Structure 1
Amino acid sequence: MRLGFVGAGRMGRPMVTRLLAAGHQARVLGRSAAVREALAAEGADVVGETGSVADGADAVVVCVFSDEQVREVCLGGALLDRMLPGSVLVVHTTGSPSTAGEIAARAAHISVLDAPVSGGPHDIAAGRLTLFVGGAEDAVARVRPVLGSYADPVLHVGALGAGQRVKLINNALFAAHIGLLTEAVRVAGQLGVAEEPLLGALSHGSAASRALAGAAARRSVAAFTENVRDFLGKDVAVARTVAAELGGDLRAIDTAIDAIAPRRP
């Protein structure tokens, strides 16, 4: 399939590598000379302007860091206007569900999928990234072979915006797990149990979780928290905002989250 790709960074770069290895054609935005040279060496068609990635593409993938960057790429430039009628835009960035809706309203000639990711670069390299996908079923079917180049499972969770809602709940719960681990380490210290052996032991018990596995690998909840704070804090802020906009709240989840991402006064 002919693809356009915006966001060949920490997460996007291994996606491009997997796409090319799977035989897809990829026109990729490259900001710096070093990135352009490396991408070209892998077989990508590298361009220096965002709108150019859409030229002739059956699908365009956007994998930037923040919701603001998604809006800049998709709503602030020529990308949407240059996409072919009937092509598909896939947004991997975690952000507000309303952003996907605004993009779809702006570009009725294409299909839009919100497909936030769960996992890291190592999961992409192994082809086991998890995707929560919202959008039309036929559009998901068209790009499933593309997404399957680096993701398994690819989970279609509902209409446009549902992918973001599921991901925001996922990350809020993940943050809460870390917050509970922080409290567990505090209590263990009061009981005379050191943190490192505690984390290693709990990983084999019924309290095991992905958050616990990450903390155990770094031998410290604080070290793991520092490693994930930037992206998790961003996503938790969005989750709180979206919940409030929809008349909901995070309740007990939010209380646990406060240990690592305190609410702003």
Structure 2
Amino acid sequence: MTSIGFIGIGLMGHGMARNLIEKGHALTILANRSRERVDDLIARGATEAKTPRELAAATEIVLTCVPTSEDVEGIVYGDDGMLAGAREGFIHIDTSTANPVSTLKIAADYHARGLRFADAPLARTPKEAQEGRLNVMVGANPELFDEILPILKCFAENVFRVGELGAGHKIKLINNFMAMSHASVVAEAVATARATGVDPKALYDLVSAGGANSAMFQMIMPYVLEGDASRLQFAIANARKDLSYFIAMANAAKTVGLVGPAVLQTLTLAYGLGHGHKLVPYLTDVLTRLDGRTRG
């Protein structure tokens, strides 16, 4: 089987890496802040590298799943970066939600060395990562896509080739803009319901039966009604980062954007109040408290 490296053993990465091991691949991982997840993978048969350079030198394909483009660049460049250790034919698959400008820069630097790069960001949640049921949107030429598809299918239910290099990260930012716009609308609707004396359960029943219903509404309302945020395990800080990347991309394309800045303002407000580490459903409480009320 293909020798694979994995960097970013977080909530999503752990499930992805576990599925790669279970499908029979030799996996080398790089430790991060969650030692517990790393130790679990080592117990399942993974080996551990000390630097990105060492990991790249030991593998044919490396997947990264990290928070920001700055993190990806930190893994690729420098004396201990993957670019310094990778061999000819090496493939880097970045599953992070990243800035397409950075994506294209990294890809050009790889190409100059005879190395390959594909952007393959993810949709769905850590639950589906554990189950091997993620959605993946890939930016790559058809030949590279066909080569990496069996690897991606180890942890994905649906894999979409959405275009050439960079298209995956672009469409993911558009997807996340839509998702976080829905989330912000739901949060404001819940805060307004609380402020006007509307029972959130009555709001849930009505919206669930009509055209205003959405998957995002169904993921947020269990937190509103029961305090259960587990259906949307996505931190406010990450949502804010993704919206900032989306707006930068939209500005570069000279689009007319009115909703994106408003959504970013909502997320930035929550982040500035110290809630960046909390999950997106908590936006309902942030807006409620800014109205001078409690969730009740």
User: TM-score, normalising length from structure 2?
Assistant: 0.80
1:13 maps onto 2:14 in alignment? yes
Aligned twin of 2:106: 103
Structure-2 change in CA distance of 1:226 and 1:36 (3 Å):
closer
1:181 to 180, 183, 186: 186
Pairing of 1:55-70 with structure 2 (within 5 A): 55-70=57-72
Residue 80 (str. 1) matches residue 97 (str. 2): no
With 179-188 and 127-136 compared, the bigger mean Cα shift is at 179-188
| 1:82-107 deviation line (CA, Å, top 9, x unaligned) | 22322311001111101111111111
Does the CA contact (< 8 Å) of 2:153 and 2:159 recur in 1? yes
Q: Given residue 23 of structure 1, which amino acid in structure 2 is its aligned partner?
A: G
Structure 1 residue ranges without an equivalent (≥5): none
Structure 2 counterpart of 1:231: 238
Q: 1:188 to 1:145 in 2, by over 3 A?
A: same
- What is the letter of the counterpart of residue 84 of structure 1? R
What is the count of residue pairs matched by the alignment? 264
SS of aligned partner of 2:75: helix
Aligned-pair distance for 1:135? 1.5
Distance in structure 2 (CA, Å) of the matches to 1:220 and 1:136: 46
Whole-Å separation in 1 of the counterparts to 2:234 and 2:144 = 35
Which residue is equivalent to 1:131?
A: 136
The structure 1 residue matched to 2:249, chosen from 229, 232, 242, is: 242
1:21 CA displacement: 0.2
User: Paired residue for 2:172, among 145, 167, 171?
Assistant: 167
Gaps of 5+ in 2: 270-296
Name the stretch that deviates more: 123-132 or 200-209: 200-209
Distance 1:250 1:128, change over 3 A: farther
Deviation at 1:191, TM superposition (A): 5.9
The alpha-carbon deviation at position 257 of structure 1 amounts to: 5.2
Match of 2:219 in 1: 214
The answer on whether the counterparts of 1:114 and 1:133 sit within 8 Å (CA) in structure 2 is yes
State whether structure 2 residue 98 is matched by structure 1 residue 91: no
Q: What's the counterpart of residue 28 of structure 1?
A: 29
Note the C-alpha offset of 1:31: 4.5
- Deviations 1:145-183, CA, capped at 9 Å, x for gaps: 111111121111111111111011111111111122133
Counterpart amino acid of residue 45 in structure 2:
G
8 A Cα contact 1:172 1:257, kept in partner: no
**How big is each residue's C-alpha offset from its partner over 1:197-235, in whole Å with a ceiling of 9 and x where there is no partner?**
322442343222121011112126998699631211110
Deviation at 1:236, TM superposition (A): 0.5
Q: For residues 18 and 196 of structure 1, what CA distance do their matches in structure 2 show?
A: 38
Q: Is the alpha carbon distance of 1:123 and 1:252 closer, same or farther for their aligned partners in structure 2, counting shifts above 3 Å?
A: same
The 8 Å contact of residues 203 and 216 in structure 1, kept in 2 or not, is answered as no
Amino acid at match of 2:254: G
Q: Offset of 1:246 from its aligned partner?
A: 2.2
Alpha-carbon distance between aligned partners in 1 of 2:263 and 2:218, rounded to the nearest angstrom: 18
C-alpha distance after superposition, 1:1-50 (max 9, x if no partner)? 11111112222111111000001111111247655543321101211121
> Deviations for 1:24-80, whole angstroms, at most 9, x for unmatched residues?
111111247655543321101211121111124221101111111001101234312
Identical pairs, percent = 26
- Root-mean-square deviation (Å): 2.7
Q: Distance in 1 between matches of 2:3 and 2:11?
A: 22
Q: CA deviation at 1:184?
A: 2.6
The 1:84–1:44 alpha-carbon spacing in structure 2 relative to 1, beyond 3 Å, is same
